[in-house]
Chain A
């Protein structure tokens, strides 16, 4: 009887049922869309963080930023030889540790020994600035005896000297190009963690664990393309010749590291023996990251520990803006629409009960207990809710599919140049949070994945909507007195 009665009643009030179902469907569809887009934002942020931070890395440890010493120079310093030949080709590499701050390698073991740390590896990131070019010497000519043909050589840089009787330097100059790139020295014995973990070797091979001090390199795909490097190519950094053994393609976006070399080689190049710039840490349990951070900070002084969450807070750009929109405006819009849908459903159900006073009064007069009448009203309302839920899920899936199909491009920026404190997060492997003021920018395609949890949430909301509406209508129906059935006739 319950099912037959329910089916017939819903059939009789198709329009009202449809209005209730559509209201709920709209709210639920919005929740699914916002939830899936938010999930897409989170995935995009994860991609950004992983590509810049290291796959599987839960946190990084870097040296705490200290104020520069008085008189110390922070800029690069190049030295060229002055030679006497007419045209001097000069080339100089300036190798600096990224951020100018390094930790002792021994801290890697110390960090690894902390409670809750699964593994820790050190990496040294270097900035290499290469200056290539040539000087051309000027020619000194005497202004008073130009016909004598005597010439004196001027100093590099040419220029002219003035003054009567003094020789004049003419011609000369310099033509230099400056290239800078990043080099990461990695622990070849543990490549699952650290800067190279976010890339795949798409050509050649990666390092073997025996190549701890080999003069071999893996180069980033875009850097290799620019420099036309292939597996087997050689290049020189600060006088050391390296052979390319592999080309690495980052999992997403652009890699911020151009060249990977064994850690010892990087330490030699950077004159940073037994130093690392960043220690990459993986925790035993993702739930314990905060505790591990605290342990490292309290046991190892002079370090800055940055977790993925810390780094995520520094993501800016359109990804961040969209993410903020999804979590603030989208969330509240969903809540508002859902609340309105619930209210409309409750009011319409209540109004339907009012129109059925005689019907429910008759049933009560026939001896139907209040709970049976209430169950009938709630049942009808629940079916409305489930129809709304079904429609809402279909609409929400369609919206999420559309977002994924369109794949709008979002830009993520890390380390917006704020520098101090936690600002300026990372900026790339080895850079470490707070170490670098330069920002890194990545373009990410947004998708809107719909999880089973989201579907379950939608079904839950549909049931809740039906229950809220049914509870209100059922409450009114249960309070109805059977005498109303007779009175409505009088």
Chain B
């Protein structure tokens, strides 16, 4: 369970100070799905970084199962990320020189999983996202949708408690977007993950059970009617 209390993040550049987040309070229960929406520069990616333990707030606390990610040491924070948090990036962020299988394996390296098991688990994760035939392909040999599927497999291979996605369909066409959203929806339900996604796509945001809108660093929460399995199967309304 996440509990964010009074999270403020300020960036200082020279004499100028920008407040990206202003006293954000937020609770996310285990297994919840939350979509964060907002204008560019509104602070949504910054909030995702705080939740993912990728950055620390200037003020406030970010508790994950009672552990304040803002206070623990760097080594422990790295360990929390490695064990509990899967992240999907807008630009996929795959290592260009590694194959799909090797890219997925990178998520298991910090956990000390032995190579043979690593390879097996990576292959299984790729099969689960429909890329069982593409294990040895380099990112450059795959389409955007396929690359994002590799990134999803990489995020899920370690069986995390939390899945964070930063505009996961931002670089995809509509058809692929729906495929990816359907996949994420299915995996969220299948694995019982806590799923937090940042998007600027209103059609996706409207269908989330909980919607957090962030503008000028301030957060507004909206409870929406949740969708069932298959909600994203080509049915997104525009």
Q: Which residues of A contact B (CB under 8 A)?
A: 1, 4-5, 8-9, 11-12, 358-359, 362-370, 372, 481-483, 485-487, 489-490
User: How far apart sit A372 and B75, CA to CA, in the bound complex (Å)?
Assistant: 12
Which 10 pairs show the lowest CB-CB distances between chains A and B? A367-B82, A8-B97, A483-B55, A367-B110, A362-B93, A367-B81, A482-B54, A483-B54, A489-B90, A483-B49
Find chain A residues with CB under 8 A from B75 CB.
Answer: 369
User: Is B236 part of the binding interface, using a Cβ–Cβ cutoff of 8 Å?
Assistant: no
Of the candidates B78, B93, B106, which one forms a contact with A369 in the assembled complex, judged by CB atoms under 8 Å apart?
A: B78
22 pairs across A/B with beta carbons < 8 Å? Answer: A1-B109, A1-B115, A5-B97, A5-B98, A8-B98, A358-B91, A362-B89, A365-B52, A366-B81, A366-B110, A366-B154, A367-B83, A368-B109, A368-B110, A481-B54, A481-B55, A482-B54, A485-B54, A486-B48, A486-B49, A487-B45, A490-B45
**Chain B positions within 8 Å of A487 at CB level:** 45
Interface flag for B185 (CB, 8 Å): no
Q: Residue of B at shortest CB range from A11?
A: B97
Q: Is the CB of A486 within 8 A of B109?
A: no
Binding site for A on B (CB under 8 A): 45, 48-49, 52, 54-55, 74-75, 78-79, 81-83, 85, 87, 89-91, 93, 95-98, 102, 105-107, 109-111, 115, 118, 154, 166-167
Is B49 within 8 A of A358, CB to CB?
A: no
Closest to A363 in B: B106
B93 near A358: Cβ-Cβ < 8 Å: yes
Q: How far is the CA of A1 from the CA of B122 in the complex (A)?
A: 13
List of A residues within 8 angstroms of B96 by Cβ: 12
Closest to A490 in B: B45
With contacts A9-B97, A483-B49 known, is A367 near B79, CB below 8 A? yes
Could you list 5 further interchain pairs (A-B, Cβ under 8 angstroms) beyond the known A362-B93, A365-B52, A489-B89?
A9-B97, A366-B82, A367-B111, A369-B110, A485-B93
Determine chain A's interface SS by DSSP, over half rule.
Answer: helix
Picked from B102, B107, B118, B166, the residue with its CB within 8 Å of the CB of A366 is: B107
Q: Which residue of B lies closest to A6 (CB)?
A: B97
Known: A12-B96, A482-B54, A482-B81. A366 touches B48 (CB 8 A): no
From A5, A8, A486, contact of B89 by CB (8 A): A486
User: Which residue on chain A has the smallest CB distance to residue B160?
Assistant: A367
Complex Cα–Cα for A453 and B90 (A): 54
Which residue on B lies nearest to A366, using beta carbons? Answer: B107
Inter-subunit contact A489/B54 (CB<8 Å): no
Which A residues lie within 8 Å of B48 (CB)?
Answer: 486
Are the CB atoms of B106 and A366 closer together than 8 Å?
Answer: yes
Instruction: Compute how far the CA of A319 lies from the CA of B97 in the bound complex, rounded to whole angstroms.
Output: 55
Q: What is the CB-to-nearest-CB distance from A370 to chain B, in angstroms, rounded to a whole number?
A: 8
User: Which single residue of chain A is at the shortest CB-CB distance from B74?
Assistant: A370
Picked from B78, B89, B166, the residue with its CB within 8 Å of the CB of A364 is: B78
A358 to B139, CA, bound (A): 15
Query: How far apart sit A370 and B105, CA to CA, in the bound complex (Å)?
Result: 18
* CB of A216 to closest CB in B, whole Å: 82
Chain B's closest residue to A5 (CB) is B98
* Residues in A neighbouring B45, C-beta threshold 8 A: 486-487, 490
Q: Determine the chain A residues whose CB is within 8 A of the CB of B55 once the complex forms.
A: 481-483
A30 to B90, CA, bound (A): 50
Closest to A368 in B: B110
Instruction: Return chain B residues, CB-CB under 8 Å to A485.
Output: 54, 89, 93
For B87, the chain A residues whose CB sits under 8 A away are 365-366
Return the chain A residue nearest B198 by Cβ.
Answer: A486
Chain A, residue nearest B111 (CB): A367
Q: Which residue of B lies closest to A359 (CB)?
A: B95
Knowing A482-B54, A483-B55, say if A4 contacts B98 (CB, 8 Å).
yes
A489 engages B93 (CB within 8 Å): yes
Nearest-Cβ distance from residue A484 to partner chain B, whole angstroms = 9
Complex Cα–Cα for A489 and B48 (A): 13
Min distance, Cβ A6 to any Cβ of chain B, angstroms: 10
Q: Which of B52, B75, B93, B106 has the most CB of A within 10 A?
A: B93
